[in-house]
Amino acid sequence: MSTRYDAVVVGSGPNGLTAAVLLARQGLRVRVLEAEPDAGGGLRTRPLTLPGYQHDLCSAIHPTAVLSPVFGALGLEVEWAPFSTSIGHPIDERRSVVSHRSLDAAADALGRDGAAYRRLVAPFVTCDLFEDVLAPPLRVPRHPLLFARFGLTGLRSARSLAQRFATPEARALIAGCAAHSILPLEAAGTAAMALVFLASTHLVDWPCVRGGSGALAAALVNALLRAGGEIELGRRVTSLDELPPHRVALFDTSPRALSAIAGHALPARTHRAFQRYRYGPGVFKVDFALEAPIPWRHEGLAEASTVHVGGTFEEVADSERAMWAGPTDREHTERPFLIVCQQSHQDSTRAPPGRHTGYAYCHVPAGSTADHLPAVMAQLERHAPGFSSRVLATRVSGPAALEAENANLIGGAIAGGATTLAQVFARPTLRLDPYRTPNPRIFLCSASTPPGGGVHGMCGYWAARSALRALGVKGDLGAPRRAALR
């Protein structure tokens, strides 16, 4: 007779694995089913270019992981490789700006904008903010005054936030951070992304994972196995009938996939809502095997965990607006905004001795099939003259390739769904408990639930709490408050 599980988790991304570990630690029988041959979803590392080079398939830099209350509480065995500078941003031939742990130094470097920068960011440089930002939005915040203050500024657009500043440096910093929202910088709520990212640079040194992001997935899998849970790889679920006997199922999938899998087990209105859910633009990613580090024109950028390559606020805003408008706008392909990471600078396991890796992606219209490599190379050459001559090999992943390696990346979208203001609240539908579905045995735990994209495991944490309540298990996962790294 086959085993009856308390919980089956479909998908082994950081959210699925977090939910599975938490439920297994309550003494429940838990089995994870993963479609791909390796666990981790957005947390995978592979030799994509030349022998001896290790590249992160998706996530690379982990401020949200080290600030995640649940990862802190899980006590994961993972070695962070922090950078002394979290963000670098070349603006033009004369100017660049960086952000690192010292708020005073960052403010001083912004000259006449320093005081305004300090006033804006200082109140949010606290782990308290992340406890509320990483929680469902329709819940009473733990720190109501702080969160209300954050909301008042965060609900605005990045453009209106940037208008408070005069220097190209301060404006560029805001643009680069806000652009992680993958929205036009004129969209309401994009100021929140800028605030969260800027505050995080003064709280933690944005790290990569020593050995690759896959090592974080391995730590989660080890925690699961130690708690008595099971994982099966290479097992794509297409229907509820394929699941082993279980009491509840948690889906670390897109709402669209859950709709297809669940069939008649969900009401028609839920299928309609899941079909309406918007995934947003995709990304075009390039991995590089390099002969030497990226030759940035400006000092200080080589030490940065993440380099925002896109020039001035206006240039970044133009690129993001064109990407959102769709494939007809050619300007986007000429000067795309790039997010660049250089993991080998702090993690020598990524490349042979003396060699380096590079990682760059730009936002593109969903499902774009255009070749953005020439534009990516031109942007890198512009800010790092001589870059091309250091490239030994490249590996390009457009939206279709990304989706082929992880079904959650619909049209190449990386955040589990567009982060429009509406979808911050209705993620994927407007419910007090967005992890539950109308079927009491079916839960969603992916980044398509609050708090959304990024590696933090908190969608899994809140979904596990919801599932525990449905199982009638008295155990409480509590409210973990200790961040993994201060």
Ligand X SMILES: Cc1cc2nc3c(=O)[nH]c(=O)nc-3n(C[C@H](O)[C@H](O)[C@H](O)COP(=O)(O)OP(=O)(O)OC[C@H]3O[C@@H](n4cnc5c(N)ncnc54)[C@H](O)[C@@H]3O)c2cc1C
Taking residues 169 to 188 in sequence order and writing x for each that binds ligand X by CB under 6 A, - otherwise, the string is --------------------
Is residue 10 close enough to count as binding ligand X by CB under 6 A? yes
Two tokens at 142? 């733990």
Stretch that binds ligand X, among 8-16, 74-82, 125-133, 191-199 (CB under 6 A): 8-16
Q: How far apart are CA 54 and CA 213, in angstroms?
A: 10
Closer to ligand X by Cβ: residue 117 or 206: 206
Answer for which of 26, 45, 59, 305 binds ligand X (CB under 6 A) is: 59
Using the contact rule CB under 6 A, the part of the chain among 97-105, 157-165, 219-227, 399-407 near ligand X is 399-407
Binding part of the chain for ligand X, among 33-41, 98-106, 297-305, 318-326 by CB under 6 A, reads 33-41
Residue 77: DSSP 8-state: -
Contact call for residues 62 and 214 (beta carbons, < 8 A): no
Taking Cα atoms as reference points, which of 108, 117, 483, 101 lies closest to residue 303? 101
Strand 246-251 relative to strand 96-100, pairing: unpaired
Quick one: which of 276, 337, 330 has its CA closest to 310? Answer: 337
- In the complex, least distance from residue 406 CB atom to ligand X, rounded to whole angstroms: 5
d(C-alpha 116, C-alpha 150), whole Å: 16
Contact call for residue 270 and ligand X (CB under 6 A)? no
Residue type, 444: L
Residues making up the chain, counted from first to last = 486
Interface residue with ligand X among 193, 409, 410, 471 (CB under 6 A) is: 409
Q: Which CB sits closer to ligand X, 252 or 347?
A: 252
Interface positions, 12-31, toward ligand X (CB under 6 A) = 12-16
Number of residues engaging ligand X in binding (CB under 6 A): 41
Q: Report the residue number, 190 or 446, with the smaller CB distance to ligand X.
A: 446
Quick one: which of 107, 420, 43, 455 has its CA closest to 98? 107
423 binds ligand X (CB under 6 A): no
User: Given candidates 107, 455, 468, 477, which one binds ligand X under the rule CB under 6 A?
Assistant: 455
Using the rule CB under 6 A, give the single segment among 11-19, 72-80, 347-355, 375-383 that binds ligand X: 11-19
Report the Cα–Cα distance between both ends of the chain, in Å, rounded.
48
Among 167, 181, 343, 446, binds ligand X (CB under 6 A): 446
444 three-state secondary structure: strand
Complete DSSP assignment for 114-141 = HHHHHHHHGGG-SHHHHHHHTS-TTS--
**403: contact with ligand X by CB under 6 A:** no
Q: Cα(101)–Cα(67) distance, rounded to whole angstroms?
A: 14
User: Which has the closest alpha carbon to 359: 390, 379, 374, 338?
Assistant: 338
List residues near ligand X by CB under 6 A.
10-16, 33-36, 41-42, 58-62, 64, 236-237, 252-253, 257, 283, 285, 361, 402, 406-409, 414-416, 446-447, 453-455, 459
